Amino acid sequence: MSGNMGLEQKIIKHFEGKVVRKDLTKFVKGNAVVPTYVLEYLLGQHCASSDDEIVTQGVEKVKEIIKKHFVHRDEAEAVKHDIVTKGNHRVIDKVSARLNDRRGIYEAEFANLGLKKVTISNDIIANHKKLLTSGVWCIVNLSYLGGDEGNDSPWVIESLKPIQISHVDLEEFKSLRSHFTKDEWIDLLMQSIGLNPEQFNFRGKLIQLTRMVSFCENNYNLIELGPKGTGKSHIYSELSPHGMLISGGEVTQAKLFVNNSNGQIGLVGYWDNVAFDEFAGITKRVDKNLVDTMKNYMANKSFSRGSSPYGAAASFSFVGNTMHSVTHMIKHSDLFEALPKAYHDSAFLDRIHCYIPGWEVQKLRNELFTDGNGFIADYLAEILKVLRKDDYSHLCSKYFELSEGITTRDRTAVLKTFSGLCKIIYPHGDCSKEEAKELLDFALEGRRRVKNQLAIIDETFSEVEFSYTNGTNKIAVLTLEEKQYPSLFKKEGDEETETYEEIPMVVERTTTPKEELLSGKHVVYEENTKGVSYEKLFAPYLKGARRITINDPYLRLFYQVKNLMEFIQMVHKNKTIGEDIEISVVTKYDEFKEQESEERFEQLKESIDGSGIVFDYEFDQSLSFHARSIETDTGWKISIDRGLDIFQPYDFKNPFNLANTLQEEREVKKFEITYLRE
């Protein structure tokens, strides 16, 4: 097992029976489309031990349970046959229920088994009202009484138990927290959500944990927009049975709030957190009435059906993909540009308490996942649910005083984020002034990111100084992107009047004051020449280009795609901050290695997503050997007989080889290059 063995032993010592090895989940999951908290519920019952033999036996037991009782949709008829043959059978399935108002009974529907209109008792509904929403994973004993021509279903629910822990001891949890340092506790939480803490810095961990605030804070509104592949929605579907993940395009007013035709309360009445997946999409059509109701609920914690108001505590989490790099959004539009027009509304966005910078989150890859011990997902979910009743914002006022210039809505947003993070990291209420400052700075930044964009979207919103006093000192907080790219935020006539706390800065690139006058030419480079680089060959001719097309039939082998990556790096290095550049590749695949070629390009494309380089490719088997060129939308065509494959072989696997990082230290093959202005 990787990771800190001392921490692993401490975790097992204090939380034995409440933790599970996170790599066990994938061993038992197989092709079962079932949330992590369901699997870990079973693993917690059978594998909660530090004894490897017991764990091994437990894993086999859970595998057997999944194999025997979990319903796969393609095996539904076989399961029904088992029930009919045996008379009854236990199944694990997602169950929802609806009132049949004509007959005055409740009827259940099984998502995978495909059964509908199965009578379910009023007592079960009374004890488990969430069945009346989009469904709950349950262990159900089903029996079959035989069919007839009446209205009653031949299927009978003998017993039903939602898959979740029924009770947790919060005071015990708080007491055990005191045995861990801040860093140890954060690492335990990271492992609990399945991530390897060794792969993240403190800020990266804080971003991941902020996703959990919606589960421990009532009426908390969070948004995260960023490149795809960063696991934005994962925690909302896998962490807790008290959260519901829905597609942003599938929600309706009746489903979310109340169905006026039958008076049925929607999702906000039953779930602690409703997460909207794929929330972005500028062309999506959205019901304006839904947006208005959401605005009212997010501001007032209530919604109406006719003249009857209803209160609810459900939090909202919005996640979606951005269309451009962060610098492009800052320079040309705003950080909410990807949202549908109906949601790109200042009144709606002002209800957002925190904006997580999704562009800072690493793309998920194998080494980011942990095989260490973490809390059983359902146990942690129940702790977070109980913590919703508490308010930890007093830990902020204990040390700091927020600026009077911060509005009531901004103050509420900041304190909610601060309180939620305190519940997660310091549930025992014991944090130092410096530890509280870390969370307050992050909470202020998350709300400032929202307000910065509101000032761009709606001129009636003025800029707010997000600052606080730390004893006798005043500390102002900026977002990280403001510190990294100050020129993109500076307005004409602005003067720098305040000094902010220093962080490592990203140096902005400048162009040379004197522009080189370029002309067409033809150059021959002799064998083994050194001092040649893509920077010297191409950069001057690519300046100002917004689209670059590379035609090269030979981009197949690993080193050839690596050359392409180095070309992209050169373009990225020289592009103007705030501008996105499209790079399009037209190439051929090896007759027997099409999949391998496509996988390499997809990996490359994914690695640079969100960087400001928009990459796409196509395979054209008619491309000729001589069609090696680089063309720009500024009119330059660079023909090069070898394409990007100009370097002699070198030891690129050796990290200490100078040629590995400096192209100028490599010897080149003989090649010719022609520059033409079309």
| Average pLDDT, integer, range 130-157 | 82
Which pLDDT belongs to residue 587?
92
Residue 51: pLDDT band by 50, 70, 90 thresholds?
confident
**How many CB atoms neighbour CB 498 within 10 A?**
10
Closest CA to 212 of 188, 243, 183: 243
Rounded Cα gap, residues 423 and 416, in angstroms: 11
Residue 497: pLDDT band by 50, 70, 90 thresholds?
very low
pLDDT in tens, 614-666: 999 999 888 776 779 999 999 999 999 999 999 999 888 888 889 998 999 99
- Contact criterion met (CB below 8 Å) for 259 and 305: no
Which pLDDT belongs to residue 450?
97
Q: Which residue has the tokens 């006026």?
A: 260
Give the range among 207-211, 418-422, 590-594, 603-607 with minimum mean pLDDT: 590-594
Angstrom distances, CA of residue 407 to CA of 309, 395, 404, 464? 27, 20, 8, 8
Greatest mean pLDDT range, 260-264, 279-283, 354-358 = 354-358
pTM recorded for the entire structure: 0.81
Average pLDDT along the chain: 89
The DSSP letter of residue 86 is: H
Rounded Cα gap, residues 316 and 267, in angstroms: 11
Percentage of the chain beyond pLDDT 70 is 93
Which pLDDT belongs to residue 108?
95
Full strand arrangement of the beta sheet holding 88-100: 118-120, 105-110, 88-100, 136-144, 155-162
Residue 297: pLDDT band by 50, 70, 90 thresholds?
very high
Higher pLDDT, 346 or 26: 346
Count of residues in the chain: 678
All structural domains of the chain, each given as residue ranges with its CATH number in brackets, are 73-162 (2.40.50), 521-677 (3.30.870.30)
| Average pLDDT, integer, range 124-140 | 87
Rounded Cα gap, residues 578 and 509, in angstroms: 12
Residue 259: pLDDT band by 50, 70, 90 thresholds?
confident
Which pLDDT belongs to residue 501?
43
User: Has residue 43 got a pLDDT over 90?
Assistant: no
Which pLDDT belongs to residue 506?
37
Tokens of 164: 């979740």
Higher pLDDT, 523 or 471: 523
Phi/psi class of residue 263: alpha, beta or left (left: φ > 0; alpha: ψ in -120 to 50)?
left
| Average pLDDT, integer, range 363-390 | 92
- Contact criterion met (CB below 8 Å) for 545 and 578: no
| Average pLDDT, integer, range 142-149 | 77
| Average pLDDT, integer, range 117-132 | 90
Rounded Cα gap, residues 64 and 53, in angstroms: 17
pLDDT in tens, 377-397: 989 999 999 999 999 999 999
| Average pLDDT, integer, range 345-367 | 94
User: Has residue 469 got a pLDDT over 50?
Assistant: yes
- Contact criterion met (CB below 8 Å) for 550 and 584: yes
Q: Which residues contact 368 (CB under 8 A, 6 or more apart)?
A: 195, 196, 199, 362
* DSSP notation for 392-452: -THHHHTT-EE-TTS-HHHHHHHHHHHHHHHHHH-TTS---HHHHHHHHHHHHHHHHHHHH
Collapsing DSSP states into helix, strand and coil, what is residue 157? strand
User: Has residue 403 got a pLDDT over 50?
Assistant: yes
User: Has residue 499 got a pLDDT over 60?
Assistant: no
- Contact criterion met (CB below 8 Å) for 212 and 384: yes
Which pLDDT belongs to residue 627?
76
Which pLDDT belongs to residue 3?
56
